[in-house]
Structure 1
Amino acid sequence: MKNIIAATLTTLLIGLGFYQVNLDSASDFERWALKHGKSYYGDEKIYRQTIYYQNKQMIDQHNKRNDITYQMAENQFMTITNEEFIRLYLNTKSTEQLNDQDKVKRNNIHQSSEPINKENKKWPIDWRGLVKVKNQGSCPSSYAMSATSVVEAKYAIDKGISITLSAQQVVDCQWLNDGCDPNDGRNSALMALRYIRLYGLYNEYQYPYSGETQSCQLNDNGPWKIADYWMWTDNYWYNFQRHLEKQPISMKVDASKWQFYGSGIFSDCTSNSNYYALAVGYDSSDNWFVQASFGTTWGESGYIRLAPGNTCGILDYFWQVVLYN
């Protein structure tokens, strides 16, 4: 009903000349819809087409500026507003706080008291391409994507095994429901790693990704396990770099304005973390390499480069895993 009302209003505004839609470029929208497998009809089509052209104009205007460090690009999110992007694709209500009993029991939350000596760091570090870039589709499952990716990376580094693990298993089986609910605070990388430690995972071929919540398809534990996971709350970027020298890191960031990131160095964000990703290195200028889960057509073949320091809250919460010997 909300979209129908909005579409009717949009139609009226177009008729009155408030929206300047270039009819000669209408094929741009149709080509985009065909490329991304989208179909819209009636008022919904008018509404989504209008948003498409508004976003396209905004991207063009941004890229013409001389004071920017990154370029925007068209992608699969062209027919949604930024408010919809946040609501539909980010984990807006998840939390990383363990209860007091679990903090005592696990004793696996660490906070560094001193930064390491900058002179001792090794750079650059680049783990891009080590594990597959995932695509969460219409499910806000970045928590499962990030958690499975950090485990995959650890197997690749420590065991020389290349494997893609089932993020769908985490979505379906971690709590047996609500795996695609962005408002469920239990849908976090921390809880996903806890599930993996307790129950293990199957690979993606055995338990393929559907991008929606299903009933759990398993009756037994998966063969791919971790011995433990470590959560760090650390604001020292030298320490973060030290951890990245050993393995990629699962972490939580603010991705509110990542919707149309195309290339370059991004810093337009806060520390209001709402999205899980994989830190995969840094360059000689200390820009971070981050692997998202929006597919390879988004950003720099699935990656974003963040400016140095605690950009987007990258240093606030992050996790590493330990395998069995």
Structure 2
Amino acid sequence: MNSKIIFTTLVALLVCSSIAQEDNPQVEALTHYNEWRKNNPRVYINDAEKQFRQTMFLENFQKIQDHNSNPSHTYQLGLNQFSDMTQEEFAQKILTNIPIQGKSQKNSVSSSNKSSVQTTSTTVAASFDWRTKGALTPVKNQGNCGSCWAFSATGVMESFNFIKNHVLTSFSEQQLVDCVTTSNGYYSYGCNGGSYQQALQYASKVGMKTESAYPYAGYQGSCKASGTSNGYKPVSFSFITSSTLALQTAINASPVSVAIDATYLSMYSSGVYNNCNPSNINLNHAVLAVGYDTQGNWIIKNSWGTQWGMSGFFLLAPNNTCGILDDPMHITA
């Protein structure tokens, strides 16, 4: 066959294939699924599970398309490691199954650490971002373990240690998951959820090992830290008054541990997130508030890896969106 004819035929086939994908949303979705599988390898127990995961991916892909086509939305959705999960699975595996904080936990704070920060100052910066100041360790990934509370706690300690001692050291989340337990007298449950306040209490008594000395496993094991001289210890920490100005003031001094309702946050990709019902807030995820922009949007460091959101960060709408002002805590010394 003439080479010119062969070339023309191949071009026609490619054009037809492209048109077919544009005209057939299912073909487009399957193409995205195949690409996603390359970047997110899965091991299935049988063909039924494989089919179920593909079905969930296709449903979530359609939700993404529908959401992003609505110009009234302030944020965009995208594919990530959660794209083949149901909403219920995401909540069960990734979010905490117990409240992040609560009055009972607040009342357990020692007297030296109990007072809340209050402020009437109006001298806070118009915007602030600790990402530009070298005070943050790289974004980490908690995996399929509800240990966000531990990552929020290490994050606030890492940053305060940098600000005070000018050394950026990554601390061990696994130490907190293994050691901050009910058997040791703390209100935390490893991969089933916990409290950054309890983690800071533990760290103030025992000290924090580094990430390299006590690496993350993503499941709860036996505590491998003994004694009371394991490394960095926060001296004092406190809750912050539930107001925008108080949180902004605290952020000007150092990053802050916060709890939010992340029920529908799984497929966030970019923009300003605001998808929470203010009359029904469930504080099921702990993160690190690292700044705010000139519009008052909170800049948040997450613990779902760099492939999620904006390289692991996201923007949260101003004021008390998703309950961010309900239980903020920072280190003061």
Could you say which TM-score interval applies, normalised by the shorter chain? 0.7 to 0.9
Question: What CA distance in whole angstroms lies between the structure 2 residues aligned with 1:60 and 1:100?
Answer: 42
Q: Distance in 1 between matches of 2:77 and 2:264?
A: 11
Kindly indicate whether residue 64 of structure 2 is the aligned counterpart of residue 35 of structure 1: no
Other-structure match for 1:125: 128
Letter in 2 for 1:211: G
Unaligned stretches of 5+ residues in structure 2: 1-23, 184-188
1:75 counterpart letter in structure 2: N
* Residue of structure 2 equivalent to 1:139: 145
Q: Aligned pair in 2 of structure 1 residues 138, 125: CA closer, same or farther (>3 Å)?
A: same
CA contact under 8 A between 2:141 and 2:304: conserved in structure 1?
A: yes
2:243 to 220, 224, 236: 236
1:223, distance to aligned residue in structure 2 (A)? 1.1
Counterpart check, 1:317 vs 2:307: no
| Contact 1:103–1:109 (Cα < 8 Å) also in 2 | no
* Structure 1 unaligned spans of 5+: 1-19
Alpha-carbon offset, residue 34 of structure 1? 3.0
The range that moved more, 94-103 or 196-205, is: 94-103
Residues 30 and 58, structure 2, Cα contact 8 Å, conserved in 1 = no
Aligned with 2:57 (options 49, 52, 55) = 52
What corresponds to 2:314 in structure 1? 304
Asked if 1:87 is matched to 2:92, the reply is: yes
- Who wins on radius of gyration, i.e. which is larger? 2
**Partner of residue 17, structure 1:** none
Q: Secondary structure of 1:56's partner?
A: helix
Mapped partners of 2:232, 2:315: distance in 1:
30
Whether the 8 Å CA contact 1:96–1:188 is kept in 2: the answer is no
Of 140-149 and 126-135, more deviation after overlay is shown by 126-135
Please report how far the alpha carbon of residue 220 of structure 1 lies from its aligned counterpart in structure 2 after TM superposition.
3.2
Please identify, of 311-320 and 121-130, the stretch whose mean Cα deviation from structure 2 is larger.
121-130
Name the TM-score, length of structure 1 as normaliser: 0.85
Could you say if the C-alpha distance between residues 174 and 125 of structure 1 is closer, same or farther in structure 2, counting changes exceeding 3 Å? same
Alignment of 1:1-325 (within 5 A): 22=26, 25-40=29-44, 41-94=46-99, 95-98=101-104, 102=108, 105-106=111-112, 108-110=114-116, 112=118, 116-118=120-122, 120-128=123-131, 130-131=135-136, 132-175=138-181, 178-182=189-193, 187-221=194-228, 222-232=230-240, 234-270=241-277, 271-323=281-333
TM-score, structure 2 as length reference: 0.83
Taking the aligned partners of 2:231 and 2:261, their CA distance within structure 1 comes to 33
Is the alpha carbon distance of 1:92 and 1:111 closer, same or farther for their aligned partners in structure 2, counting shifts above 3 Å?
Answer: farther
Aligned-residue offset at 1:24: 6.8
CA–CA separation in structure 2 for the residues paired with 1:168 and 1:35? 26
Aligned length: 296
CA deviations over 1:152-188 (Å, ceiling 9, x no partner) = 0001111110110000000011117741124xxxx11
Q: CA RMSD in A?
A: 2.1
How far off is 1:149 after superposition?
Answer: 0.4
1:208 to 1:100, Cα distance in 2 relative to 1, 3 A: closer
